[in-house]
Amino acid sequence: MNQLEQLKQYTTVVADTGDFQSIKAYTPQDATTNPSLILKAVQKPEYRPLLEKAIADAPHASIDEIVDNLLIGFGVEILKFVPGRVSTEIDAALSFDTEATVAKGRELIALYEKAGVSRERVLIKIASTWEGIRAAEVLEKEGIHCNLTLLFSLCQAIACADAGVQLISPFVGRIYDWYKKSTGTDYQGADDPGVQSVKRIYQYYRTFGYKTEVMGASFRNTSQIQELAGCDLLTISPDLLQKLADSDAPLERKLVAEAQAGLEKITMDEKTFRFMLNEDAMGTEKLAEGIRAFVADSIKLKQMIATMR
């Protein structure tokens, strides 16, 4: 078996792309999208018709409504190629507005259900701010499952699990980027700070019996993926999926679902969350940077729609 096939023995493989052809080629269980991936996809000729349809089908709609229709259009198409779930992201501009995030989550699920897709096949992606986590807690109680993204710190992971969130996406590569830039060290294998962060979260969840799924995300190389074999899920870009498929080297399970002695349970409230995140320079900076980047790409997408109407 190649490394991708070996990985699928231990971990649910998720495609991190809006490109249907890539999804079809690697037969993942689930797929994830975000504003940057959707913006990249609609600039390709083969996906332009989805954007044109979203605009044509709602001539009197606001640009925000057209964006929602476009996101659902991509999600519906992606679900034709995966047997599991698709993650659809809420506008990152709402990252600090609990009520607006809840309302948008309900709207997106309603659009999916109108298109004939059950809510069990959709994860609503929300930034792992305190306000985003509180919104996810409300949505989960309504049977709207969430994927908490832009997650860099243990405090975010604990707050998500306490809120009963379905799934979290700790960003391995962006953590690695920060430490590489900060220290000048090109971390390898198990020494990678991004890998270590996901292992710490995974062990914490298993030790204290949390059911929230851990999905490593934002990979820079196959070594990071190999070190996290055994994680609940890993969402991987098409280029790295191809590199795994091209290698026949042995791939062993590194993460095992078992409790770890000596771990102390942390009681997470808003004050503790904000203080712990503040003390984590990497987590604070990467969360803010990630929100800014997703907002910028959302604005570009809206500007593209405005010029086409």
Which positions are annotated as active-site residues?
Answer: 125
Going from the C-alpha of 94 to that of each of 99, 100, 273, 287, the distances in angstroms are 9, 7, 19, 14
CA 67, CA 74: separation in Å to the nearest integer?
Answer: 11
Listed in sequence order, the residues at least 6 apart from 136 whose beta carbon sits closer than 8 Å to its beta carbon are 124, 126, 146, 148, 160, 163, 165
- The number of residues in the chain equals 309
**Secondary structure (DSSP) of 47-104:** THHHHHHHHHT-TTS-HHHHHHHHHHHHHHHHTTT-SS-EEEEPPGGGTT-HHHHHHH
What are the backbone angles phi and psi of residue 281, rounded to the nearest 5°? -60, -40
Beta strands 213-216; 122-127: pairing state:
unpaired
Of the candidates 142, 76, 141, 81, the residue with the CA atom closest to the CA atom of residue 112 = 76
Helix, coil or strand: residue 233? strand
Of the chain, the end-to-end C-alpha distance in Å amounts to 49
**What residues contact 49, with CB distance under 8 A and at least 6 apart?**
none
Task: State the Cα–Cα distance between residues 70 and 50, nearest whole angstrom.
Answer: 7
Q: Report how far residue 192's alpha carbon sits from residue 304's, in angstroms, rounded to the nearest whole number.
A: 38
- Phi and psi at residue 24, in whole multiples of 5°? -65, -35
Q: At what angle do helices 281-308 and 172-183 cross, to 10 degrees?
A: 120
